[in-house]
Amino acid sequence: MLTALLSLALLGTTPAEPAPGQSAAPAPQSAATPIAADWRPIPDDDVLVMTLAGDRRVVIRLAPAAAPVHIANIRTLARAHWWDRTSVYRVQDNYVAQWGDATETKALPTGVVANPPAEYGMSAPKFAAELTRADPYARQIGFTADGWPVARGSWLDQGAEAWLPHCYGMVGVGRDMAPSTGSGAELYAVIGHAPRHLDRNIALVGRVIEGIEYLSALPRGTGDLGFYKTEAERTPILSIRLASDMPAAERPRFDYRAADNPRFAAYVRDRENRQPPFFTVPAGGADICNVPPQVRRRP
């Protein structure tokens, strides 16, 4: 039945084939369709490329405005090749994939701040686009102009602090119990339902923009909290590099979709109210994690 429903939905949105000798009619433009100026380059220094065994690449967009000291640490670690020959050592179902030095014996490079400030929130940025409704975790939800999802104002206080939400694909810093904040040497990516209870408790430093399947499809760890019990189970990391440190011909280049325009606002409204023929009951709102930021490989 589900297959039939999906097939009907696809049939309802597929244009008819043009008659012989006729050109295909151009696809109708939506108010949410981005124009060329809406795509803006992600700086090479904000692109982190993790290469796993088997030539599998995971690409992360860094968020320096959210956690500047942690990001500085990550750049230092990448430039020191610190992650070479480390591993993905934890994969917990519906939660996170985590990587770094499973032996906890590697010394940090010079210049890395071992315990940075608790960069769990940031001064309130200007919202370029907002969702219609708040959520259980924040009084205001939306996007910054450079396409980051952001939440502001806890229901427990009247503060104006903002933070990045723990959506699928977001990358955070592993840490021990407070006052530890994590150096950035141990990182994780969300590979399941958004664990928003972690918001404002861990530093978020970026988002996987390509290759998340190479983390989400890994075998689940059978130890406590999804840790692998043996070294043989871990996935080796060959390297982690900043795109800015890679040869120009090998650099992956990406654009983000800017949120400071009416087309992005229309995209948000479309996600809040899905349209027929498949959707017959609009929701009137959306979870911020159901309005994914858009990124593309630069043409």
Residue-wise over 99-108: b if at least 16 C-beta within 10 A, else e? bbbbeeeeeb
Phi-psi label, residue 111: left if phi above 0, alpha if psi -120 to 50, beta otherwise? left
Question: Residue 179 burial by CB count (10 A; 0-12/13-18/19+): exposed, middle or buried?
Answer: exposed
pLDDT (0 to 100) of residue 159: 76
Is 34's pLDDT higher than 60?
A: yes
- Our CA angle for 130, 295, 249, nearest 5°, is 150
Weakest mean pLDDT among 3-12, 170-179, 197-206, 250-259 = 3-12
What is the average pLDDT value for the chain, to the nearest integer? Answer: 92
Structure tokens at 244: 């800015």
The model's pTM is 0.90
Q: Between β-strands 96-100 and 86-91, what pairing exists: parallel, antiparallel or unpaired? A: antiparallel
pLDDT (0 to 100) of residue 123: 87
pLDDT (0 to 100) of residue 157: 81
Over the stretch 129-162, which tens digit does the pLDDT of each residue have?
A: 999 999 999 999 999 999 999 999 999 887 789 9
Weakest mean pLDDT among 7-21, 41-55, 78-92, 96-110 = 7-21
Give the mean model confidence (pLDDT) for residues 204-215.
Answer: 99
Is 191's pLDDT higher than 90?
A: yes
Instruction: Write down the domain spans for the chain.
Output: 43-297
Is 297's pLDDT higher than 90?
A: yes
pLDDT (0 to 100) of residue 33: 97
Give the mean model confidence (pLDDT) for residues 9-30.
Answer: 45
Over the stretch 106-130, which tens digit does the pLDDT of each residue have?
A: 999 999 999 999 999 998 788 999 9
Over the stretch 229-240, which tens digit does the pLDDT of each residue have?
A: 999 999 999 999
User: Of 90, 88, 87, whose CA–CA distance to 227 is shortest?
Assistant: 90
Alpha helix (H) ranges present in 109-230?
A: 213-216
- Our CA angle for 245, 248, 250, nearest 5°, is 90
Is 86's pLDDT higher than 80?
A: yes
Helix, strand, coil: what percent of the chain each, to 5?
20, 25, 55
Range 43-297 has CATH code 2.40.30.10: no
pLDDT (0 to 100) of residue 28: 54
pLDDT (0 to 100) of residue 160: 81
Is 38's pLDDT higher than 50?
A: yes
